[in-house]
Amino acid sequence: MNLPVCRLRQCLEAAGARQRRNTVQQHKLAEWSVKTICSFIGAQAMVDTEKHGGRNPLIDMAADIDIFGRKSPEEIEQEKLRGPVVARSIEEDPRFQGKVAADPEKGVEADNGVGSYEAFMMLMGGPPPMPGRG
């Protein structure tokens, strides 16, 4: 190639810009797909919108997904309010250390309190608990 150095640099810069543009385009397509799927899932969940100002918070959270991880001022403020991380995984979380698995044969009832599977299912619109169980 009999190109001057300045022309060669120009060609390399154009090729790099084209590659970065294609990468961003692929990331944005993946972001759009995830947002769409999450919005449909959030719309199907039984959420009391009266408690949230007439809006479904799951759909709002889906709309806030950003593949590049940019944070809004509200998210920055929420992180300040949340404080330090309690645990890296649920196994390390001290709030769940005292839980005992349900075993009706031994007389241990299921815990339907905060953090239980039953409470989660009720939040997602699942069937209400059986009478006398929570």
Q: How many domains does the chain fold into?
A: 2
Which residues make beta-bridge pairs with 40?
Answer: none
- Do 112 and 58 have their domain in common? no
Based on the number of CB atoms within 10 Å of its own CB, is 112 exposed (0-12), middle (13-18) or buried (19 or more)? middle
Does some domain include residue 111? yes
Residue 96 is predicted with a pLDDT of 67
Q: What is the mean pLDDT of the chain?
A: 79
CA dihedral 50, 53, 58, 59 (to 10 degrees): 120
Which of 29-33, 47-51, 68-72, 96-100 reaches the highest mean pLDDT? 29-33
pTM as predicted: 0.46
Residue 132 is predicted with a pLDDT of 58
Does some domain include residue 134? no
Residue 55 has pLDDT above 90, yes or no: no
Worst-scoring range by mean pLDDT, 10-14, 55-59, 88-92? 88-92
Residue 133 has pLDDT above 60, yes or no: no
Please state, as a whole number, how many other Cβ atoms lie within 10 Å of the Cβ of residue 59: 19
